[in-house]
A and B are shown apart, each in its own frame.
Chain A
Amino acid sequence: MIIFKFFPLLIANLLRKKTRSALTMGSFAVALFLFSLLATINSSFNQGVEVAGADRLLVMNKTSLVQPLPVSYMERIQQIKGVKEVTYATWFGGIYKDEKNFFAQIVIDYKTFLQMYREFKVPSSQWRDFCSDREGAVVGKKLAQRFGWKIGDRIPIQGGIFPGHWEFNIRGIYSGTRNEDDETQFWLRYDYLDERRDLGKGTVGWYMIRVNNPDNTPTIAKAIEDQFANSPAEVKAESEKSFATGFVKQIGNVKGIMISVGSIVFFTLLLVTGSTMAMSVRERTGELAVLKTLGFSDRTVMALVLAESLLYALAGGLIGIILAKLYTFRGDPTNGFLPSFYLSPEKMCTGMLFALVAGISAGWIPAMLAMRMKIVEALRRI
């Protein structure tokens, strides 16, 4: 293979101007680090869409998610044809010590919740403890890590929507089966909430439904909406995915921002590395001419320059992506507002692909210059 034959030459070229090589690689590393960072942020905003179950339907008050629904709808929903399972939940919205410690507290029906969300796993002994303690809570693995909570800890929560001082015992720690799963939630029991609150007894925030066949989702959604039409609390049913997509759209054009920032970075990177490569080709005009004199073909010389640029790109890109991966292990930088902060292997591969493209485009013009260089003219120059 021609590449292996010339590899020592490539390496020697890299090592000649160590600072420059390091800086050029560094530029690629920074660009790819940034790419990975943007991709991670983008996917954490889209987390809800990515983890949405294809066979799940969300039923909420037609007015908005903030308006409650009667808990009595549960049985009526269950009787609708095509509905396999139903569970309900409520947003608790309390504060742990300080408002900055934001995390989602979800009031659940412990009898039906886990069947609905099969992606969450809790050791069965812990779940039994939770079921037998009204003040129990199950918390996500990442949430427990964030505050250093252990099983048995008593957690004080200042009520927001439901006023008063609440305390919960951690009875279990759940983990997600997929990397994107949200492991930052705090689950507590509906029966306890309903017993203690004064206002809004017997109401829930939303229902989650599993359908028999995902293909029938639109018909089932329609049937559920019709069931409660003209009642005091009309409902809106939509697939979990379309709800999550709508929610992301309301946040704003996150994707657009990411893409525009990414393109600026990419374009700048091309400029910087392209000019560095051009500079180093210009400096080595004499050497390249000597290579050609020795019998290297035009194409080989071109390939050498291109390979050098690619080497910068791939080595730098790899460093950047690995650093980004390490960075994501540190967790969410916004302190709890992003449900997951995970860089997927696919995104890393896309990043390497970008590095490859950048390396080729940055090296292209200098490589062509080197190929077209006339020996006599090049050697005549100083």
Chain B
Amino acid sequence: MSIPIIYNIRSVRVRWVSTAVAVFGIAGVVSVFIAMLAMAQGFQATLVASGSPYNALIRRGGATSEMDSALTAEQIRIAADAPDVLRGKGRLPLVSPEVVVIVMLPIRNGQTNAMVALRGVSQRALDVRSVVKIAQGRFIKPGLAELVVGANVAHAYTNCELGGRPFFGGRQWHVVGVMDAQGSAFDSELWADAVLLQQTYKRPGNIFQSATIRLTSPEAFSDFTKSLTGDPRLTLQIDRERDYYEHQSQAVTTIIRVLGVSVALVMGVGAIFGALNTMYASVAARAREIATIRAIGFAEWSIIASFLIESLFISFIGGLVGCLGVIPLNGYSTSTINWQTFSNIAFAFEITPQLMCLGMLFALTMGLVGGLPPAIRAARMPVVTALREL
């Protein structure tokens, strides 16, 4: 059970320049790897946070998103009367029939416009969505050209701050409130009165795009679905709100993950080359020392183990540096267009402990692959010739 670990740790210290190079190489790869995954993670988390486990979202059967869905007021009323729907004040079902329009808004400090989701809601929207709170001002009043805007919208677009008066759809609007949607997709939306929105954009008054329905419990979903699918008057797409939003994040997260991970993997191969080079060189430079250790009586496998530990130690430090280096990026907020809904969504990089573990695992894999061949070469070195060499 004897492994000359002290020897390896000391030689890492003595050859600190080449050690530092290997450490930085691995750190760079790990930080890029984590940053890319954190971006995908953050985007997904933003959308998933938008859905509540208590809520179901209904659309026209076959519609891929709210954007291409249409529901009649009659269909929504039937769904709202299902037994598993939670009822609020005055025994009225907690249902929010909604329309979505994409509007172009000018970005602050920029010449370009961005596509932003404008959601037409009823007075009940806040009761259905517990994630959204009014942080400043008040909620919209029915029939008035008023808006409440998400926290991100308020600072990202011109005239959208509290009290601002943006102009679109041939109408001057008044921002009367700012929502705090706790980092979910609603922070990137504007809400207005659904009926007014239908009039503004010349849409039929009894057609909505989706309805979000609050259920009595998260478990009631399957009963709720069952009671509606049996109804011949309805052809609906019924999803848990959370699943719906998670689905909306898939295209963007897939792109980020595929591109990000393939870049990180290629970088990883490069870092392994670097690590191999460093370790081979350090093995060659230490031929006599290794032979001496062997001559003292350490076995071949002790040498292998000791060199592996050395390279794992280097990659561990590299992984640690990479993880620490990428932490400042956590919470850094940026925005992208969600191709599945044609609207801009702000999200923040989210570095989770799992991602860091994944990064460390990646680092150690690089250390293992980059350290094993040199370790074997070190162990195979013929003792006598190595000792005879100058």
By a beta-carbon cutoff of 8 Å, the part of chain A in contact with chain B is 19-20, 23-24, 26-27, 30-31, 33-34, 37-38, 41, 62-67, 93, 95, 99, 102, 158-161, 163, 199, 230, 232, 234, 236, 245-247, 249-253, 261, 264-265, 267-269, 271-272, 274-276, 279, 283, 333-335, 337, 382
Contacts and interface: CB of A to CB of B under 8 A. Distances in A.
B62 A158 contact: yes
B348 to A, nearest CB: 13
Contact of A63 (B25, B104, B280, B337): B104
Contacts of B113: 246
Contacts of A93: 64, 68
A334 B252 CA distance: 10
B78 interface: no
A27 B32 contact: no
A283 B267 CA distance: 28
A251 B258 contact: no
B277 A24 contact: yes
B262 interface: yes
A279 B281 contact: yes
Interface in B304-359: 334-337, 339, 342, 344
Given A64-B103, A333-B259, 9 more contacts: A30-B267, A66-B115, A102-B251, A232-B202, A251-B336, A268-B274, A271-B21, A272-B25, A275-B17
Contact of A41 (B101, B112, B114, B259): B259
Leading 3 A-B pairs by shortest Cβ distance: A30-B270, A272-B274, A64-B102
Interface in B18-63: 18, 21-22, 24-25, 28-29, 31-32, 60, 62-63
Interface of B: 17-18, 21-22, 24-25, 28-29, 31-32, 60, 62-64, 67-68, 70, 101-104, 110, 112-115, 168-170, 201-202, 251, 254-255, 258-259, 262-263, 266-267, 269-271, 273-274, 276-278, 280-281, 285, 334-337, 339, 342, 344, 390
Given A19-B280, A161-B68, A251-B336, A62 B104 contact: yes
B192 to A, nearest CB: 13
A52 to B, nearest CB: 15
Main secondary structure of the interface of B (DSSP, over half): helix
Given A251-B337, A252-B335, A334-B254, A33 B21 contact: no
Contact of B266 (A34, A271, A382): A34
Contacts of A232: 202
18 contacts: A27-B274, A34-B266, A63-B101, A63-B169, A64-B342, A65-B115, A67-B101, A67-B201, A99-B64, A102-B251, A161-B68, A163-B60, A250-B115, A268-B29, A268-B271, A272-B270, A279-B281, A335-B254
B329 to A, nearest CB: 11
Contacts of B24: 268, 271
Interface centre among A19, A31, A62, A102 (most CB of B within 10 A): A19
A276 B64 contact: no
A163 B71 CA distance: 12
A161 B334 CA distance: 29
Given A63-B168, A95-B64, A275-B21, A264 B262 contact: no
